[in-house]
Amino acid sequence: MQNYPHPIIAREGWPFLGGTLAAALLVHLFAGWAWALPLWLIALFVLQFFRDPAREVPGDAKSVLSPADGRIVVIEPAHDPWLNRETLKISVFMNVFNVHSNRSPVDGEVVQRWYHPGKFINADLDKASTENERCALHLRTADGQNVTCVQVAGLIARRILCYVDAGDRLVRGQRYGFIRFGSRVDLYLPKDVRVKVGVGQKVSATSTILAELP
């Protein structure tokens, strides 16, 4: 089980949840439940969006875990623009009903972090990887394997949060960031990884093994 503090609701959500609950309660008290119902529904949506469940960590040091909840939209050979190398790319698309806490896919050191401003087109489209706002981490495992993990903003997402930088160490499944309101995460892996998932498959952050490193 994860050893970082787990409040069940992501800390990023408390201002949104507090604001919507306060508004719903005030309208309920002064205008009645019928007027407050839309606000209670909004509060319920905010509550489910910012949930952040603890997860069991499967596999071993060779296992590449899913960095996000969602659906696999890409598994293909691709050029890694961050490390200028040929790789296998796996992309996970998150809709607004998925958990949006991002977890480390591997045990390793953060070698470098990049931030690139950009557009907010639908993250389900492959061109989002090159045109949208994004934040990338270069992770290096203990045996020298390089993994690039990229948070990509989406059509509704307007804020990428990343809490680590070069020199930090991450373990598989460790929470390192959050993307608000719909997005995707791209992984650029060594070409000779053994893929464990298929396009269209639903995956869970930490719980799903995407691939095995050589």
- Taking the chain (214 residues) in runs of 10, the rounded mean pLDDT of each run is 56 79 89 89 81 88 95 96 97 86 95 81 55 88 96 70 93 89 87 96 96 95
Catalytic residues: 183
As a whole number of angstroms, the distance between CA 83 and CA 39 comes to 46
pLDDT in the model for residue 3: 46
Q: What pLDDT is stored for residue 92 in this prediction?
A: 95
Q: C-alpha distances in angstroms, 107 versus 3, 67, 83, 206?
A: 14, 12, 19, 12
pTM beyond 0.75: the answer is yes
pLDDT of residue 16: 78
**Model pLDDT, residue 121:** 55
As given in the structure block, the two tokens for residue 115 are 């931030």
